Amino acid sequence: MAEASTRITARMRQDVADIRALVMHPMETGNRRDAKNQLVPLHFIQRVQVTHNGRIVLDAQWSQAIARDPFLGIRVRGAKPGDKVALAWVDNRGARESVETVVAA
């Protein structure tokens, strides 16, 4: 995918996994005009899911009001180093991406 890429980290902080993700995505509102004064079409991530060892820990619905190159931080109890954490998203054009990481100590 040319326009998007996703990074995720998960690290233990005491007994909670601190999960942070950054997605490179334009998150266009549909109101912005380009250099030729043409409206740039609405283009944004609509759904995001985070799993911990395959279990859904966050299910999000987003609008175009999430900032360009979205950041997401959540905290999950009951995780331990080595556990698998994954994130997937889909945007309003049907583009999607998923990434996986392991929880660091």
Partner 1 sequence: MKRRLLLQGGSAAFVLAAPALRLAFAQPSALPSALSAADWNKAGFEAKTAAEAIRQLGAGTPASSKDILIEIQDVIENGARTRIEVTSRIPDTRALSIVTDRNPYPLAATFTFGEGTEPYVSTLIKVAESGTVRVIVNAGGRLYATSRDVKTTIGGCG
Q: Which residues bind partner 1 (CB under 8 A)?
A: 1, 16, 29, 31-32, 46-68, 70-78, 84-92, 94-98, 100
Judged by beta carbon, residue 65 or residue 105, the one nearer partner 1 is 65
Q: Sign of the CA dihedral 59, 98, 70, 16?
A: positive
31/45 Cα distance (integer angstroms): 16
Judged by beta carbon, residue 7 or residue 77, the one nearer partner 1 is 77
Q: What are phi and psi of 54, to 5 degrees?
A: 90, -10
Question: From the CB of 91, what's the least distance to partner 1, in Å?
Answer: 8
